[in-house]
Structure 1
């Protein structure tokens, strides 16, 4: 399975929604708080975006919560994270 990484802040409501969606599906993810010095720069260089959350499946940028929710409504999360697709 691909590693799921999410750049977040503790005060972001969309970050909480994204975590709740992934938790509800039983998907483990690595959460990276962007508040420490330099971490936001890492996120921006990786995604080209400045807002949180920024969610990655492996090296693929999914986007923010709205993008994740859209992918879920299309059944795409399970397809992208299936072992067949990850391998």
Structure 2
């Protein structure tokens, strides 16, 4: 195992940043530790149909879980201004406040050289940090175990790049085999027609 430090800038999405890292570097590993604070936290509590969302001055206590190029499984605990502790399954839309330092343990033996030449997922999805419809779309894809590539729109150049591909100004933006199919409603339409399963 080798340690890999990751510094997240203010405004970064905690979960999407770790997903991007694992996919980009072909990482199989787990979170060793984290120090940082949040302006917004989204996490799934057991038995609830929708994520719980907190906003304010939030301090991260722990972040545990695993990372791979295909998915991440992370549990977050945090404290609010009243020192009340919250926690659950980390969801997109968890936004770093002043910064966060994450230490990832990379399992070298699980990172074969051939992993970088694997076939890319047919489905791509462009998302904005904090966008609720983006979070729902990502949750749907994870629930159905549909392999996908996430494009996180954190700056103007990325926004212009995906907009030039899609012609859309709203998010999420979903592409299949490089062709735009639309947003969240179009994704659910594909699901209702049973066509998402073919993209696994």
SS in 2 for 1:76: coil
Matched with 2:170 is 51
Q: When the two structures are aligned, how many residues end up with a matched partner? A: 81
How far off is 1:60 after superposition? 2.1
Shift of residue 63 of structure 1? 1.0
2:147 is aligned with 1:23 = no
Moved runs in structure 1, 4+ residues, more than 6 A? none
Do the aligned residues in 1 keep the contact of 2:129 with 2:154 (CA within 8 Å)?
A: no
Aligned residue for 1:56, secondary structure, equals strand
Matches within 5 A, 1:3-82: 3-79=122-198, 81=199
User: Distance between the aligned counterparts of 2:133 and 2:177, measured in 1?
Assistant: 21
Structure with greater strand percent: 2
Structure 1 residue 11: Cα displacement: 0.8
SS in 2 for 1:11: coil
Higher helix share: 1
Larger radius of gyration: 2
Residue matched to 2:14: none
1:62 CA drift (Å): 1.9
Report the Cα distance in structure 2 between the residues aligned to 1:54 and 1:13, rounded to whole angstroms: 13
Tell me the C-alpha RMSD between the 2 structures.
Answer: 1.6
The offset of 1:36, in angstroms, is 1.5
**Structure 1 unaligned residues grouped into runs of 5+:** 83-87
Distance 2:178 2:152 in 1: 18
State TM-score, norm by structure 2.
0.38
- Is residue 14–residue 53 contact of structure 1 (8 Å, CA) maintained in 2? yes
Aligned twin of 2:78:
none
* Contact 2:133-2:184 at 8 Å conserved across structures: yes
- TM-score of the aligned structures, taking structure 1 as reference length: 0.82
Any gaps of 5 or more consecutive residues in structure 2? 1-118
